[in-house]
């Protein structure tokens, strides 16, 4: 049994590498898409940052103003990654409803490896360029950001992005039982947007709502990574949040696996 599990993971890892190359090649084949990545994203992100920095210089409470300026520019930077992950709902749902899962099942390809490769091909460039530039500018503007803060920020953001991917894939897997998943997706989207800290830092929410949000995984998408970067948590607190994020990721992967196995039985029975 253990050997089968190891073999399954190796097969999934190899499939992830193979599909990553395919998806990356597809994305690079659209020249306009490459142009938008290299020119459009930096312009859209750093013009607001420059404007915030100029206003901050003229502000009487510059340090507090800088915190909120960098925080909300960070929100803007991070939420630009959301569409890449939300696409997974449409992809998973359409492949279930159209019966396209058969091609992966017949070839023994773990489906999670395909979705992971697709997500990585879209997100790694963004994390490695735009987000890195944002962190460099934030470090230049705010002197209290340390190297350890930056390292923990990237780790927490990557974990949060994976949590978001798993949750959106779970929403997409509702297509095993439903023909339309838009309603569930909208409900989830509203809940997520209210609980990530993107609209307002969670510390500004009423205590009861803040407590509820602190028990949900959505805060790992925006709030916790930015709080770590901006020095609101100590190094030890950052490690605790990262560890808790890993636990959340493991729990959600387990739930996702259960939904997949139950849904796959229903899918195979309906295709027979």
Q: Over the stretch 238-252, which tens digit does the pLDDT of each residue have?
A: 999 999 999 999 999
Which SS3 state, helix, strand or coil, does residue 8 take?
A: helix
Contact of 196 with 223, CB cutoff 8 Å: yes
Q: How many alpha carbons fall within 13 Å on the CB side of residue 220? A: 29
- pLDDT at position 209 over 70: yes
| pLDDT tens column, 86-104 | 676 777 777 777 777 777 7
Confidence (pTM): 0.81
Written as six digits, the tokens of 271 are 């295709």
What's CA 83's distance to the chain center, in Å? 9
């Amino acid at each position: 049994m253990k050997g089968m599990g190891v073999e399954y993971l190796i097969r999934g890892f190899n499939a992830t590498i193979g599909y990553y190359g395919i998806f990356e090649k597809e994305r690079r084949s659209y020249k306009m898409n490459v142009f938008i990545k290299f020119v459009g994203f930096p312009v859209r992100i750093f013009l607001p940052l420059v404007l915030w920095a100029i206003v901050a210089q003229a502000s009487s409470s510059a340090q507090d103003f800088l915190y909120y300026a960098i925080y909300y520019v960070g929100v803007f930077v991070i939420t630009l990654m959301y569409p890449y992950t939300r696409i997974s709902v449409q992809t998973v749902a359409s492949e279930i409803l159209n019966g396209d899962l058969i091609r992966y099942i017949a070839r023994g390809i773990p489906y999670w490896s395909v979705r992971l490769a697709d997500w990585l091909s879209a997100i790694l460039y963004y994390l490695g360029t735009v987000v890195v530039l944002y962190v460099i500018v934030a470090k230049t503007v705010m002197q209290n950001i340390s190297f350890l803060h930056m390292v923990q920020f990237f780790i927490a953001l990557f974990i949060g992005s994976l949590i978001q991917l798993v949750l959106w894939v779970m929403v997409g897997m509702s297509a095993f039982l439903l023909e339309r998943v838009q309603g569930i997706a909208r409900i989830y989207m509203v809940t997520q947007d209210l609980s990530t800290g993107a609209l307002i830092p969670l510390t500004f929410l009423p205590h009861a709502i803040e407590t509820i949000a602190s028990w949900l995984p959505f805060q790992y998408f925006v709030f916790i990574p930015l709080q770590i970067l901006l020095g609101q948590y100590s190094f030890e607190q950052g490690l605790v949040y990262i560890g808790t994020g890993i636990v959340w990721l493991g729990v959600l992967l387990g739930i996702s696996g259960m939904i997949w196995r139950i849904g796959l039985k229903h899918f195979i029975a309906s295709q027979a």
